Structures are given as structure tokens and as C-alpha cells.
Amino acid sequence: MTPNRPLILAVVDDDDDVRIALSRLLRAMGHAVRLFASAEEFETGNPPVDCVIADVRLPGLSGLELRERLRKTNDSPPVVLITGDGDRLARDFRNALDSPVLTKPFDAAVLAEAIASAMSMTPLQRERHAH
């Protein structure tokens, strides 16, 4: 379900076109969006956000690694992973299933649902998924 209240969302993707398009869509959906071209950039900014939408394949730290690092801090935002290579992700990162993973290209409704789903998981639930 799409959360009713406006959220602050972070988009971490190195592809300019994808990043801007997501920003446009999420803002059209009524959310505030912060854009980052890499996981490092996101960590440096360390913005208070409700959810992070991160590409898996990033220069430097991958989206997956970013998710792992966020998971280790308290009150960390949930992560929605997006990827251009679903097969590879499924093969390589089976243990990433506690975060929603979207294969590009994805529908706006699917994205909204993934965000809602990620946010509905309590930290405990996420912890359980990870083991």
C-alpha cells in the first residue's frame, strides 16, 4: 500500500537518467526526494530519510553493501534494491531477500508497494529475515 503521508526518500543510482526519472516520479507521487550518485555520497550526506531506493550495481560500495551497513546501525531506514540484472542478483545475493528487490524496468505501482513493504517491516522482522 502506498503510504498516505509524504515520505522523504533517498535514490542512490549512478545512472543520471534513471536517478532523475525516479526523482520525477516520486515527487509526482507526492514525496520529497534526495538524490545520490553513489553509496559513499549517501553515507557522507547521511540524510534523515524514510526509505532508501538503491541500485545494486554501483561504482564503489554496491547497493547491497550499503544495505548491510545501514542494517548495522540503529534506526536505519529500510532499503529497496533495484537492479538491471535480476538473474545475476538472484544468483549472487540470495540472502538479500529481506529487502524488496525490483528488476528494472519496474512499474510505479510496484515501486510504491515495495517502499510500503520495506517500511512496514520492523527492524526485528528485518533482522529475522537476515538469518
Does residue 94 touch another protein according to CB under 8 A? no
**Which 98-127 positions form the footprint of another protein (CB under 8 A)?**
103-108
Q: Cα 98 to chain center, whole Å?
A: 12
Taking CB under 8 A as the criterion, the residue among 2, 3, 8, 25 binding another protein is 25
All three cell numbers of 60: 564503489
Cβ atoms < 10 Å from Cβ of 48: 9
Does residue 17 touch another protein according to CB under 8 A? yes
All three cell numbers of 115: 517502499
- Minimum Å gap between C-beta 61 and another protein is 10
Tell which residue, 33, 15, 12, has the closest CA to residue 24. 33
- 41 or 121: CB nearest another protein: 41
Taking CB under 8 A as the criterion, the residue among 12, 39, 54, 82 binding another protein is 82
